Structure 1
């Protein structure tokens, strides 16, 4: 082993950034059989539940590994009997036992910030699930090593830059080097795993990191999106909204089922049929179910696609054990995944101006009857004036993140790969979009809570419970004061706001 590798392996856990949330084995490991994992499964893994192979999976993989070795002896197999990329026409000596490790070492080049450990766990679980499906022809020893890595929480160091939506080669090569004992892990890794040329490329041939990041983003967004219902209902109550915008008729007119669900949830939160202050409200309220229904629809679509891809063998080449041949293909080109992520980014971006609209209404005496910006009435008081600037800044960031990554293209490896899906970049943008969306909703929550309290607006029984809990963490201070702690408190409480109030999806 090279000297620098020996040094790297013995880095302590404190040398790497750690997640604030440490894994707690509160739940039993999820069972992986190759039939796929749900977002709920992946969330459990992220929090430290671990994963184990279902009975019979290893026996099947051992049989298929033997069959794959036989297929490889009868026909050329990309990455095993040849090089990769621009070297795909270069034959590799059948006795070259170092070819697999050379591939892993050369492809483990990455850069950028560390991927959070929760996301790394999810990446490992997704790859384990995909390998448990039939198609890779990989050594069962490698699959067992991956299972052990999750069990022992011996995580590799993964960086964000290296993929372009045509398989996360750098992330998975880095994982393989950690499994082989050539890179450090977060917990001791006493028994390295051997990677022959029959397992190196099959292990790398997956978009498991991009899928993991998408899964984490959707899971986080689901909480925020549900909370947006509570926040919007508070805003609607504060400004005396016309409830017809959330009526069953409005839900049906929106066509998509997600919009009808949003309307139904809004009716459940508002409950009373109080006289509206206006015949029609601004779009922030009047078009809420249409815009938010589009967000829910795009979010659910991406979630379903991610779950499907956890059960899909997409390795190139793919071993078809029925026909007994290796099939060379482009399944790693994640065009549909990139488009689905772009679609969610765009849906969030088009909903952002409506958040700004509701914040503006809350700060406008014409809608509330309160002093401008919900100030205390002292001459020249600014109240919540400046939080509008924060919301506008977050909206600009969100809309910037909505530029479709799938419009990009590139030619690499001497023309061997003349395009890419850029799904990896799309999911990076989604992370930023979710951050900005949370900031915008936090600002609206802060102002809606203040408006309800200052104006003494009557609320439904569901909202009364929310308002009571908010008072414990967001006490109302009438005079101008430092708003940063309030904004931070609103951001902390926001993700869990809908739990126990809205029905579980």
Structure 2
């Protein structure tokens, strides 16, 4: 069990995944705690001044001009959580809730949100002890932040809403989960419901943490997926007797996009030592189809899109994204309100556009990754395109059996869904009496990107399954020559064969696709490639 330090400055997408999926322990260092305490002191100083400050003693959104009396300030924060818990759709998965929680904690500990340390500690305890609020996935517009999902999350902190805990007594290790009330969930980890102080309700729900948490997982999963696609493409290149010359360093050097170079290098590493490739290097075929020939260019462009998303996510994870923000008095020149100790400024850091647009780019890139993989599947299966050594649809008794024919159907259906997804970030529906008149729809962009990752993963898994089956026929066709496969492609074949036996007769193949998709998702393919290619220097 690892520990991820939440200091408001250094959280990465990989850290988010470690907490969200692998149950790494979250901790907050003293330096961040000190910032939290100082920020709270500034809020209290401003409250004592009596100035009207948005989020502290005014209404919200269009109701910003409504002044709230001092005796109602705590009630204002509770009402905010209750009224904004208006989500719809499916409930977020456990890992999605945890990703949102860890992102929220890290934003709070930057020290610009004005919450008490107790709020942070309650969220950390919930993460570490397995209390996961029940959160509806739809309802966020990605401006004013992910209000509805974060409100559902935050209700549990005040003993309301519902939560799913990992065990009746979290930490007892019985592997069960239980759906209970927010109050019961806090009691299970020996926590009392919070009585929210001024600004805390707004600080909890005003921010991009659903978007950012989901985007962090898209980054990690997408990077893992594009490496799997490189492996699948290398295996298809080898088993269709195509050339790897298109991955030569000289070609990439004269068009030096970083992602293209990286994919080309991996293809060279994967096929290093392949006698199958070498034996057909000087065959009569002049050029391969684009799905094979342009693999470095297409896969590389996907890598670049994911790198662009990673950079944005890393910035957003370590940003203060709620509103208003609390600054030291001497940190701003033109204070909207404040005292000698602190200044509170209203702005728009909650707007999800910086991630929404990058998520759209990544989703489109992943769709193209899926599209080129589907074309390579067709080249492995289609009797009108196959090489002579491959039987139609890789069936052992073609005609009587269909082999992997329908794997391409599934890939085509999943690709169609990906292509049908609209661009969420280009939509805009004004809300809150037209006060909030331009929104980002970043949460929907993140959910769409998650769908793209899942669909593309299955399509790449289908190529890996078909490529591994095709390798059986390569071995049979050239048995007399006993040609070896590449160091990396051999490792890929071995890993797939661990979970998918050769297709000696027709069987339900959904389990084949699911098993290999699970290997990709879990990082097993990454690990196998790292072991197989350790120390290799590409030529």
With normalisation by structure 1, the TM-score equals 0.90
Shift, 1:213, TM fit: 1.2
Q: Offset of 1:487 from its aligned partner?
A: 2.5
Aligned pair partner of 1:134 in 94, 107, 111:
111
Question: 1:375 — aligned with what?
Answer: 395
* Per-residue deviation, 1:482: 2.9
Give the 3 Å change call, closer, same or farther, for CA 470–148 of structure 1 in structure 2: closer
Q: Does structure 2 retain, via aligned residues, the 8 Å contact 1:101–1:197?
A: no
**Counterpart for residue 360 of structure 1:** 378
Once residues 314 and 258 of structure 2 are traced to their aligned partners in structure 1, the CA distance between those partners, rounded to angstroms, is 21
Structure 1 residues 48 and 493: CA distance shift in structure 2, 3 A = closer
Please, which moves more after superposition, 406-415 or 381-390?
A: 381-390
Secondary structure of the corresponding residue to residue 196 of structure 2: coil
Indicate the SS of the match to 1:476.
Answer: coil
Deviation at 1:410, TM superposition (A): 0.7
Distance of 1:493 and 1:137 partners within structure 2? 43
Q: CA deviation at 1:408?
A: 0.4
Change (3 A) 1:177 1:481: closer
Measured in 2, the distance between the counterparts of 1:169 and 1:419 equals 15
Contact 1:139–1:198 (Cα < 8 Å) also in 2: no
1:487 aligns with 2:528: no
- The two structures, once aligned, show a CA RMSD in angstroms of 1.9
For structure 1, which runs of at least 5 residues remain unmatched after alignment?
Answer: 1-25
**2:436 counterpart residue number:** 417
Deviation at 1:471, TM superposition (A): 2.5
| Cα offset, 1:378, TM superposition | 4.4
For 1:336-374, what per-residue CA distance to the aligned partner results, in whole angstroms no more than 9, with x for missing partners? 100000000111122333112211211245542122222
Asked if residue 175 in structure 1 is aligned to residue 153 in structure 2, the reply is yes
Counterparts of 1:500 and 1:136, CA distance in 2: 44
**Alignment deviations for residues 449-500 of structure 1 (CA, whole Å, 9 cap, x no partner):** 1111122163113322332333232211233333233233332333322323
Task: Determine the structure 1 residue equivalent to 2:409.
Answer: 389
Distance (Å, rounded) in 2 between the aligned partners of 1:138 and 1:332 = 17
Between the aligned partners of 2:398 and 2:324, the Cα distance in structure 1 is 72
The structure-2 alpha-carbon separation of the partners of 1:82 and 1:247, relative to structure 1 and needing over 3 Å to count, comes to: same
Name the count of aligned residue pairs.
477
Q: How does 1:191-202 map to 2 (within 5 A)?
A: 191-202=192-203
Aligned to 2:53: 77
State the SS of the aligned residue for 1:347: helix
Q: Contact 2:11–2:106 at 8 Å: present in 1 too?
A: yes
- Counterpart among 366, 369, 372 of residue 348 in structure 1: 366
Match of 2:263 in 1: 262
What is the alpha-carbon distance in structure 2 between the residues aligned to residue 49 and residue 263 of structure 1?
A: 34
Task: Answer yes or no: is the 8 Å Cα contact 1:149–1:155 preserved in 2.
Answer: yes
Task: Give the corresponding residue for 1:499.
Answer: 527
Contact 1:341 1:427 in 2 (8 A): yes
Correspondent of 1:288 among 274, 284, 295: 295
SS class of match (1:497):
helix
| Separation in structure 1 between the aligned mates of residue 306 and residue 445 of structure 2, nearest angstrom | 14
How big is the shift at 1:174?
2.0
Q: Does 2:494 correspond to 1:475?
A: no
Q: Tell me, in whole angstroms, the C-alpha distance in 2 between the residues paired with 1:494 and 1:33.
A: 31
Superposed displacement of residue 126, structure 1: 1.1
Distance 2:194 2:251 in 1: 59
1:30-57 Cα deviation digits (max 9, x unpaired): 2222113112211221121221110233
Structure 2 counterparts to residues 14-29 of structure 1, below 5 A? 26-27=1-2, 29=3
Quote the Cα distance in structure 2 between the aligned partners of 1:388 and 1:59: 57
Describe the SS at the equivalent of 1:312. coil
Q: CA deviation at 1:189?
A: 0.9
Q: Rate the CA distance shift 1:207–1:362 in 2: closer, same or farther, 3 A.
A: same
Moved more, 54-63 or 289-298: 54-63
Q: Does 1:184 align with 2:162?
A: yes
For the pair 1:101 / 2:78, whether they are aligned, the reply is: yes
Residue 72 of structure 1 deviates from its aligned partner by: 3.8
TM-aligned CA distance change 1:45 to 1:110, over 3 Å: same
Distance of aligned partners of 1:200 and 1:468 in 2 relative to their CA distance in 1, 3 Å threshold: closer
Change (3 A) 1:470 1:314: closer
The 5-angstrom pairing of residues 288-307 of structure 1 reads: 288-307=295-314
Cα distance change, pair 399–378 in 1 and its aligned pair in 2 (3 A): closer
Contact 1:107/1:173, CA 8 A, preserved across alignment: yes
Q: Which runs of 5+ in 2 are unaligned?
A: 166-184, 333-341, 479-483, 535-539
Distance in 2 between the 1:352 and 1:32 partners?
35
Partner residue, 2:90: 113
Alignment of 1:197-346 (within 5 A): 197-271=198-272, 272=274, 274=278, 275-276=280-281, 277=283, 278-321=285-328, 322-323=331-332, 324-346=342-364
- Alignment partners' CA distance in 2, 1:459 and 1:358: 19
| Preserved CA contact (<8 Å) 2:415 2:455 | yes
Deviates most, 346-355 or 444-453: 346-355
Higher mean C-alpha deviation, range 357-366 or range 385-394 = 357-366
CA distance in 2 between counterparts of 1:300 and 1:108 reads 34
For 2:322 and 2:208, how far apart are their aligned partners in 1?
10
User: Following the alignment from structure 1 to structure 2, what is the Cα–Cα distance between the partners of residues 479 and 176?
Assistant: 54
Q: 1:414 to 1:467 in 2, by over 3 A?
A: same
